Homo-oligomer: A and B are copies of this chain.
Amino acid sequence: MEFIKGIKEKDVLEISDILTGDWFGKEVVLRGFVHTVRDMGEISFVVLRKYEGLVQCVIDSKVKGLEDKTLKEGMTIEVKGIAATEDRAPNGFEVRLTDIRVLSEPAKDSTMPLPISKWKLNTSLETKLSLRPIALRNVRERAIFKIQEGLVRGFRDFMFQNHFTEVRTPKIVAGNAEGGANVFKLEYFGKKAFLAQSPQFYKQTMVGIYDRVFEAAPVFRAEKHNTTRHLNEYTSLDFEMGYIDGFEDIMDMEAAMLTYTFEFLKKEYAKELKLLDVKLPAADNIPAVRFDEAKQLVAEKYDRKIKNPYDLEPEEEILIGKYFKEEHNSDFVFVTHYPSKKRPFYAMDDPADNKFTLSFDLLFKGMEVTTGGQRIHNYEEQVDKMVKRGMDPEEFTNYLMIFKHGMPPHGGLGIGLERLTMKLLDEQNVRETTLFPRDVSRLEP
């Protein structure tokens, strides 16, 4: 009988092992994809693609293992050879091969449908998305999602440091937290169910248990809009915190989180930031402006008429972003005190003027990336607001239970991860920063 004890030592190395410097002049073994093959007559160059980057390998006629094989893009191989510094090679070194072992081969007669070894793919977004599993093999394309990984890691690390508890709330739900028609319906053993538009009810519930909670998980919106900024499934970075003194506490927490996360990216994802030429913005001095004031400011500065005093059009968001970039050199702006009629039933109205709420959006380069605010915590107040909106509190017994038995003053927010990535990378379409986007016409791959 065999016993499994843990990871076995292997002599296969990674790029970072070789970059320690200990391996130059020595024999190394590496595994990776054949990224490119360049035949120069006497010798050829094979570039290996690994998760950390590219490795130039030099092959001459004495190499063993290629007697009955021809190297081809898309093969995976194991190579053995001597590592040597080489300024012109990626990562400053190359490997002069003595042995090659083919680990796997692509389909017979297959040809790469995209020039993935090029610096930029230069294909349409449509083509890139249809061939996503292959397009992501491009070194720049895959760097996008390493940065996205870093955003989530930074968010989580910061949350843990600030004593938030991570929760996992259900995605199949009985009720419709955010209201409206943009909810996916599901047949659930003869009952009507929905896909969660947000973890709203559950994260509030969990504040009654852990004081502060967060979740980074998928949410689902049956939006029929086919725009450059809408997705039907996206990742929401949510947090919810109890014992707040006001909704400013939530904005303070977000500013601190973004500042921490950008520092984290700078430290841990320097390679990818450089590859994509990303400039990290400052988030430690974010202007906060009232919704009505913001509308007024851009109307005056950019000579615009205010059409609807209760809503922000996407064009107005862009102008508010422009205004605060020009006037305060900030890529971010908090727009506060959204009108009550535009916020869900759980939003706390401003006691000073109940046409407005103690809520905010965060705009990043002119696009909403966060919605947040203080929530109602008093049972009677919540029931009243529901009734005034024509909702039946009986349908929300499970949600109202938490207020009935006591909830601290609390609030929170949700950040759209893909939009945050999009604006950070100055992309024009949120699909560029979504691994496998779902939209009205796209369900595959």
Contacts and interface: CB of A to CB of B under 8 A. Distances in A.
Interface residues of A, number: 125
Interface string A143-167: 0011011001100000010110111
A284 to B, nearest CB: 6
A405 B1 contact: no
A181 B173 CA distance: 21
A185 B401 CA distance: 31
Given A7-B252, A284-B6, A174 B104 contact: no
A402 interface: yes
A220 B408 contact: no
A309 interface: no
Contacts of A123: none
B170 A233 contact: yes
The main secondary structure of chain A at its interface with chain B is mixed
A417 to B, nearest CB: 8
Contacts of A187: 184-185
Given A133-B401, A136-B209, 20 more contacts: A1-B289, A3-B286, A4-B251, A4-B255, A4-B286, A6-B252, A32-B211, A73-B406, A76-B406, A106-B379, A107-B380, A108-B380, A137-B209, A169-B436, A172-B184, A172-B220, A174-B443, A186-B195, A191-B443, A193-B443
Interface of A: 1-8, 10, 12, 14, 31-34, 50-52, 73-76, 103-108, 110, 112-113, 131, 133-134, 136-137, 142, 145-146, 148-149, 152-153, 160, 162-163, 165-175, 184-189, 191, 193, 195, 202, 205-206, 208-212, 217-218, 220, 222, 224, 232-233, 235, 242-243, 245, 248-249, 251-256, 259, 284-289, 334, 377-380, 398-399, 401-409, 417, 435-436, 438, 440-441, 443-445
19 contacts: A1-B288, A2-B288, A3-B288, A5-B252, A6-B259, A7-B162, A12-B243, A33-B208, A50-B211, A51-B212, A107-B404, A133-B398, A149-B166, A168-B435, A173-B443, A184-B187, A186-B186, A202-B436, A401-B445
